[in-house]
Amino acid sequence: MVRKITRDELKGMIESGVRFKLVDVLVKEHFDDEHIKGAISLPLNELEQKASKLLKRDDLIVVYCASFECQASTKAAEKLMSMGYKNVLDYKGGLKDYKEGGMPLEGQRFKREGQSCQACSAC
């Protein structure tokens, strides 16, 4: 069974310097537009072909998708575990929950809008 984590747990991991791979499983175009700062793109439909190039079996991996309603992160976590990755966590709230918490984002959207890295006016 996949362990789910909250925004606060993810924030704590980032702030404490825990080494992990943050994986955005949405389509590449969405990732290019906006993603959680520091994330890598590994779309769900490319997982089997590209995971071994981007992830090590012993990495701590946190996957996320669009929101609580999106099932892509859960499917990705289950797929990675079936492929032999042992340390996989599902940030179920995803991009929407992260943005609602005012957490830092990056991507083309922010370059177009003249913002730095956040989805709010705090920058």
Residues forming the active site: 65
Q: Tally Cβ neighbours within 10 Å of residue 87.
A: 15
* Tokens of residue 29, six digits: 């175009």
**DSSP per-residue letters across 58-75:** TSEEEEE-S-TT--HHHH
Q: Are strands 87-91 and 3-5 parallel, antiparallel or unpaired?
A: parallel
Helices 72-82 and 47-54: angle between axes, nearest 10 degrees? 70
